[in-house]
Chains A and B, each alone.
Chain A
Amino acid sequence: MINTHPVTAEFNTPMLVKGSDLIQIVVADDDAMQRQFTSAIVRRMGYDPIEVVDGDAALNAIVKTRARILICDINMPGLDGMALTRQIRKMKLLHYIHIVMVTGRDGTDDRRLALEAGVDDFMTKPFDASMMKVRIRAAARLIAHEDALSDQYRILEVAKDRIESDLRAAAQAQRRLLPLGDGNVLTCRFHSAFVPSTIVSGDMFSYFPLDRNRIGFYAVDVAGHGIHAALLSVAIGHLVTSDYFLLHSFDANGKPDPAAMVRGLNERFVRDGCDEYFTMFCGILDQSTDCLTFCQAGYPSPFLVSRTGECEMIGAGGYPVGLFGELDYENGLATLTIGDLLFLYSDGGVEAESLGKEPFGEDRLKAILLQSAVEGADHIPETVIAALSDWRSGVALDDDLTILVLERGNLS
């Protein structure tokens, strides 16, 4: 049954897809009259109809053409409208297919089932041209919207690629700030690992000779991670050099005073209305006296492992840098004799959680440290990282990780 209302000429400008291709519409109906009527309207609206006589042919057309809309009769030989819809919804197609189903007048149950199967819209027989036009226009509007979204998505993808490539360049620049070479400074050897949780890291460390007998070193962990934290960590890396140590971390009598340097950094980095801050551990080791003078500013207490295998944590804590002005920082003292190790780690190490949400913790870290120290200090960073990776069942760390081992060597 077809309605013979004349097809009028007041059609809207057809919507185009990708470039200037017309939207293709598959018209599936075994009734030739009905099919031709629908096709005529589609064509008059400026779209491109593909006529097929049954469900199987419709499915074939959907797969082989770039059709975006399907107008199909509910009753067709072979694959009927409902089965056709289910098949289409099961397939992985490049586009969403808008399905308009033609049902009988009293098809309430049919409609519920069709909606469940994945149909988008209905037309009741007998239908007229104007009813069909509004439905095709509605589907075309959605297609235009989908295309606009996918264009935006592509633009975002390009932007994301560019940002990531910039970040990788930034990460390289950041790594260049880390100490070069084999880690030998005077009679000591440093072993380290630097593992960003995102591409760049909020951690930073360095070590350098200060004069014939003294070595300066520090490790910093900016709160948070990602780009924000990395920018500050790089700023610190540029600022805190051996010259900076020489200038700021000795008192008037030439005695090591790293707390004075941290006090200065705190005044420099504290800012109103800004919660950005970092934790730091910095030290000066005098190899002629075995004396380590250090300042701990909220950074985890390092482990000091003696040559004989005894292990203690040093430092009673201290304020982080940049939270409040005019804070007092203290110097701590420790003795580091030949063969001793100092093991520094950022909190990403002990806070690393297993799948069961259990943090790795200091005790496990200490056990791994003592075990790997026996095999040689140079193995420590990689052994700790492997243990953390096992603990996390291979899942990447949430926070940046730094491991810095100072191995006190022989004076001769």
Chain B
Amino acid sequence: MIKTSLNPDGICIVEPQFERLTAANADSFKTEILALIENGQTRFVINFAGVSMVDSSGIGALVGLLKKVGNRGEIAISALSDNATQIFRITRMDRIFRIFPNSEKAVLSMGV
């Protein structure tokens, strides 16, 4: 359900292979990324290009991942749809997550 690639700085870029992150798939999405965290991955860019909608269960999954990574790493989010941006704004998740227009900018912000 996700595609991942590792950049030379060890940042894991996650590309969800679905159009909607909702109650229907939030758990399995979270489980997949948790497996990466278990394997020692700590820095993530989750690129939502191609995802039109993130609902409250999707937000719950992202927050769960953020808590799991904790101080050891970071999660940046890129390319949110208008719809998802709105949900992030209303729930103030735009103050919890660092959000970028695209994955390249997100990666740049993380540096080395």
Contact = CB atoms under 8 A, between A and B. Distances in A.
| A and B part of one assembly | yes
Contact of A224 (B19, B60, B89, B92): B60
Nearest to B96: A324
Contact of B91 (A275, A320, A351, A357): A320
A359 B60 contact: no
A323 B95 CA distance: 13
A301 B89 CA distance: 11
A317 B56 contact: no
Interface residues on chain B, size class: 20 to 34
A54 interface: no
B96 to A, nearest CB: 7
Interface in B50-64: 52-53, 55-57, 59-61, 63-64
Contacts of A279: 56, 91
B56 A347 contact: yes
A398 B92 contact: no
Contacts of A351: 53, 55
**How many of chain A's residues touch chain B, expressed as a range?**
20 to 34
A277 B89 CA distance: 17
A225 interface: yes
A277 B56 CA distance: 9
B31 interface: no
B53 A223 contact: no
B83 interface: yes
A317 B23 contact: no
Nearest to A323: B63
B53 A221 contact: no
A399 B92 contact: no
A229 B96 CA distance: 23
A176 B53 CA distance: 34
Contact of A275 (B23, B24, B52, B60): B60
A275 B57 CA distance: 9
B108 interface: no
Contacts of A359: 53, 83
Closest 6 CB pairs of A and B: A298-B91, A223-B56, A275-B64, A275-B60, A317-B90, A223-B60
Given A223-B56, A301-B90, 14 more contacts: A221-B56, A223-B60, A224-B23, A276-B60, A277-B60, A279-B56, A298-B91, A320-B59, A323-B60, A347-B55, A351-B55, A357-B19, A357-B52, A398-B22
Interface of A: 221, 223-225, 273, 275-277, 279, 296, 298-301, 317-320, 323-324, 347, 351, 357, 359, 398-399
